């Protein structure tokens, strides 16, 4: 089961299909409300079919290279979870990390063998001095934010420690509406749930907790400093990715996420530089955990990069904006083999399509024809139109929009194979 934001839903389905997983459910959160409402929604959904089922709750941004060791740690926690305990997993620390919360154990685990241990308390992210003290003490683990419990056990914990979440999240699940292969949680009910983490709402208050140590390699990729470490820095501490070049640099991460955008570092130290198609981040390594401040600053100035992705994924493929002007926009559109966009029209714009890869089947009002590479077609304002990929390879076209309004909400759908309204 996957819980995700609406913007990621098609990326999730493509990635699941790529690794051969058919999910039992994909729940769409109307808004981010932190981990407590998300975990409760998953438990309530699972309880509809089997309240005794075990749930392994795992964030999506973790790197765990030794899958066998992780499975062994999970297996070690299964008996305690079946007994009704809430099992959390703690990572053996290998440095005085200030970016993670910690778990204080009642005893020093010494060998860090995977077995349920007693938890004394949760510890918030420490400063560097306190982190060094905890590392030396030996009875602290990093809080991985990975949990194991039965659906009924975690629901009972919410009823005891966070009862105010029960009504809105239950209503959000019960009133959820199917959309393609997803379940969209009811937005009105969901917005009534408190924005709170599972640690604060339940785990820090529960008494039936067990901790399983995990001593193999693990990384939380939630910060660029973690990405730098996992990218395999060279002897000078430099890691690069994509169209990136480092010249006489030290302890730095240089990444280009656009093959047409070169990033060059010259004589820099302790620097993180990330070049995206629509924005560039430059930060000191010590500020890697503070990227949220950059997003907040962009939102305050109304920058679209704070809320919009360079690529917009859809059930039929994806598109990206290449150039945006006052009355025109140029897009690249990628359509999967056999996929089709909806039959639609626009009030405020006309479009010109140029096929650059593959072959498109194009409908314009009553006219249907095949358009091959290096051919184009014009879509007048108000015309009903659709593009399809009838072939077995991806179809790519360049779309030029002109008009007084170019927003994605200027779409009137008449037919849609994906049942979108």
Give residue 328's pLDDT: 96
Phi-psi region of 146 (alpha: psi -120 to 50; beta: other; left: phi over 0): beta
Give the tokens for residue 233.
């820095």
CA distance 375 to 293: 46
Phi and psi based region of residue 242 (left: phi greater than 0; alpha: psi -120 to 50; beta: remaining): left
Task: Give pLDDT tens digits for 41-70.
Answer: 999 999 999 999 999 999 988 999 999 999
pLDDT above 70 coverage of the chain, percent? 99
* Confidence at residue 280, expressed as pLDDT on a 0 to 100 scale: 94
Residue 255 has pLDDT above 80, yes or no: yes
pLDDT digits (tens, 9 = 90+) for 134-148: 999 999 999 999 999
313 or 74: which leads in pLDDT: 74
Residue 186's alpha-carbon distances to 35, 137, 176, 192, 392, in angstroms, are 17, 47, 5, 10, 38
Do residues 211 and 76 lie in contact, with contact meaning Cβ atoms separated by under 8 Å? no
Across the range 304-323, mean pLDDT stands at 88
How many other CB atoms are found less than 10 A from the CB of residue 59? Answer: 12
pLDDT in tens, 63-83: 999 999 999 999 999 999 999
Question: Left (φ > 0), alpha (ψ -120 to 50) or beta: where does 344 sit?
Answer: beta
All domains of the chain in start order, with CATH: 2-214 (3.90.550.10), 224-301 (no CATH), 311-415 (2.60.120.10)
Is pLDDT above 70 for 182? yes
> For residue 109, what pLDDT is reported?
83
Query: Regarding predicted confidence, which is higher, 312 or 379?
Result: 379
Name the phi and psi angles at 291, rounded to 5. Answer: -60, -30
**Which residues are bridge partners to 350 per DSSP?**
402
What pLDDT is stored for residue 272 in this prediction?
96
Please write the tens of the pLDDT for every residue from 83-118: 999 999 999 998 998 888 999 998 888 888 899 998
pLDDT of residue 421: 57
Q: Is the dihedral of CA 251, 257, 259, 264 positive or negative?
A: negative
Mean pLDDT of the chain: 93
- The confidence score (pLDDT) of residue 98 equals 86
């Amino acid at each position: 089961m996957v819980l995700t934001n609406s913007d990621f839903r098609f990326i999730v389905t493509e990635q699941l299909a790529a690794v051969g997983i058919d999910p039992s459910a994909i729940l769409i959160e109307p808004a981010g409300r932190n981990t407590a409402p998300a975990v409760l929604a998953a438990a309530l959904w699972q309880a509809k079919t089997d309240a005794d089922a075990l749930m392994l709750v795992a964030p999506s941004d973790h790197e765990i290279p030794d899958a066998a060791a992780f499975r062994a740690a999970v297996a070690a926690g299964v008996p305690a979870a079946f007994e009704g305990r809430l099992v959390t997993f703690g990572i053996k620390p290998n440095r005085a990390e200030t970016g993670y919360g910690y778990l204080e154990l009642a005893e020093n685990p010494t060998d860090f063998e995977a077995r349920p241990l007693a938890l004394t308390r949760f510890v918030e992210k420490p400063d560097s001095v306190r982190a060094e003290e905890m590392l030396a003490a030996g009875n602290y683990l990093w809080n991985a934010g990975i949990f194991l419990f039965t659906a009924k056990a975690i629901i009972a914990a919410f009823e005891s420690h966070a009862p105010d979440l029960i009504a809105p999240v239950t209503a959000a699940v019960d009133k959820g509406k199917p959309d393609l292969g997803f379940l969209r949680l009811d937005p009105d009910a969901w917005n009534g749930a408190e924005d709170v983490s599972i640690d604060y709402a339940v785990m820090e208050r529960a008494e039936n907790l067990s901790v399983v140590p995990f001593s193999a390699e693990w990384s939380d990729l939630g910060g660029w400093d973690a990405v730098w470490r996992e990218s395999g820095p060279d002897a000078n501490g430099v890691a690069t990715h994509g169209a990136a070049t480092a010249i006489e640099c030290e302890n730095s991460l240089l990444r280009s996420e656009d093959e047409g955008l070169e990033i060059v570092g010259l004589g820099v130290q302790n620097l993180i530089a990330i070049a995206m198609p629509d924005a560039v981040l430059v930060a000191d390594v010590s500020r890697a955990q503070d990227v949220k401040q950059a997003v907040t600053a962009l939102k305050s100035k109304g920058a679209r990069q704070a809320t919009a992705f360079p690529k917009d994924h859809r059930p039929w493929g994806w598109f990206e904006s290449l150039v945006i002007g006052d009355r025109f926009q140029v897009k690249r559109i990628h359509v999967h083999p056999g996929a089709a966009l909806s039959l639609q029209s626009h009030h405020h714009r006309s479009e010109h399509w140029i096929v650059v890869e593959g072959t498109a089947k194009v409908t314009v009002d009553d006219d249907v024809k095949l358009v091959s590479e290096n051919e184009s077609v014009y879509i007048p304002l108000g015309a009903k139109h659709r593009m399809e990929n009838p072939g077995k390879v991806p179809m790519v076209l360049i779309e030029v929009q002109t008009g007084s309004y170019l927003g994605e909400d200027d779409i009137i759908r008449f037919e849609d194979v994906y049942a979108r309204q």
